Amino acid sequence: MGAYLLRRLIAAALILLGVSFITFVLLYVLPADPVRQIAGRSATPATVESIRQQLGLDQPFLVQYGRYLAGLAQGDLGRSYLQKTDVATLIAARLPASLMLMAGGILCELALGLSMGVIAALSRGRFTDQALMMASFVTVSAPQFVVSLLLLYVFAVRLEWFPIGGYGTLAHLALPALTLGILGSGWYARMMRSSMIDVLRADFIRTARAKGLSRARVVLRHALPNAALPVIAMIGIDIGVFMGGIVVVESVFGWPGIGQLAWQAIQRVDIPIIMGVTLVSACAIVAGNLLADVIAPFIDPRITLR
């Protein structure tokens, strides 16, 4: 276990190094010149040149990347070109909002997905099952922005149950979290359904039934926990989907998280912020995958880590 973890951590560090390098290369070859953006249109060539020097953008590529890595080692993600603030500070200020949104989204998708999966498994082959599986297909086929706008229109514009956008209260959180939850629920519904069907076939369920337990008790106490655990353990893998989803959902709902930060930075070519958010997202994805792999053997002892 220790050796396995160490190896995985080293691999994760290498992957993140690679991600930082590729992102840096992409942003370095960027045709849109950030210096012009900062300096404004009326700047003289001399001003542009001095800003370029100030930001270190006149240096050769490898020197720039080396400096960036050196900063990274000290937890320094560089300074925003336009906001004149440390990127790390900006991201840290935005992170709680994004984490809250993710937590809400995960809660929604588990609640929706698991109940859909259980109901489908119990009514296997019947109309309810088919309708739920069709619904799960629709949720994986819907783009984030359409679901966002649909929920906004129905629940905020028409019914006026929730605010149209913004941040602060649980009511603000409801619609963006529900958007993420609906989008992720289809995947969980399918996994939960097949996991539940497998468990319902198992010998210990037959034993429980033979003991004379009620159907509800067999399903809720014996089958559900066993079926749900491996599905819930997959949350880690889902983080990657979330990291992409929050860019769109946060922009539509005006949710002040790192997704919105990234989107604003992309529009203004504020490279250090784009770079920082990409790295933070990649960290989250790598950590999520690692987490999913590490807890797997605890849930299913037949799995061994190699």
Q: Which residues bind another protein (CB under 8 A)?
A: 11, 14-16, 18-19, 22-23, 26-27, 29-32, 134, 137-138, 140-146, 149-150, 153, 157, 194, 197, 240, 243-245, 247-248, 251, 262-263, 266-267, 274, 277-278, 281-282, 285-286, 289
Instruction: Return the number of the residue (30 or 63) whose C-beta is nearest another protein.
Output: 30
- Which residue in the block uniquely carries the two structure tokens 């190094």? 17
Burial (Cβ within 10 Å: 0-12, 13-18, ≥19) of residue 240: middle
Distance of alpha carbon 265 from alpha carbon 262, whole angstroms: 5
Minimum distance from CB of 208 to another protein (Å)? 23
**Which residues sit opposite 86 in a β-bridge?**
79
193 residue type, one letter: R
**Buried b vs exposed e over 152-173: b needs ≥16 C-beta within 10 Å?**
beebbeeeeebbebebeeeebb
Instruction: Return the number of the residue (31 or 301) whose C-beta is nearest another protein.
Output: 31
Q: Tell me how long the chain is.
A: 306
Instruction: Return the number of the residue (115 or 289) whose C-beta is nearest another protein.
Output: 289
Instruction: Return the number of the residue (13 or 170) whose C-beta is nearest another protein.
Output: 13
Distance of alpha carbon 293 from alpha carbon 299, whole angstroms: 11
Instruction: Return the number of the residue (163 or 208) whose C-beta is nearest another protein.
Output: 163
Minimum distance from CB of 268 to another protein (Å)? 10
Distance of alpha carbon 172 from alpha carbon 179, whole angstroms: 12
Minimum distance from CB of 50 to another protein (Å)? 25
- Of the candidates 306, 298, 257, 293, the one whose C-alpha atom is nearest the C-alpha of residue 104 is 257
Task: Locate 296 and state its tokens.
Answer: 């797997």
Minimum distance from CB of 35 to another protein (Å)? 16
Minimum distance from CB of 109 to another protein (Å)? 17
Longest dimension (CA), the chain: 87
Minimum distance from CB of 303 to another protein (Å)? 17
Instruction: Return the number of the residue (128 or 194) whose C-beta is nearest another protein.
Output: 194
Instruction: Return the number of the residue (3 or 29) whose C-beta is nearest another protein.
Output: 29
Task: Locate 21 and state its tokens.
Answer: 């390098």
Distance of alpha carbon 230 from alpha carbon 293, whole angstroms: 11
- Of the candidates 276, 292, 288, 249, the one whose C-alpha atom is nearest the C-alpha of residue 76 is 276
Instruction: Return the number of the residue (135 or 213) whose C-beta is nearest another protein.
Output: 135
Minimum distance from CB of 46 to another protein (Å)? 27
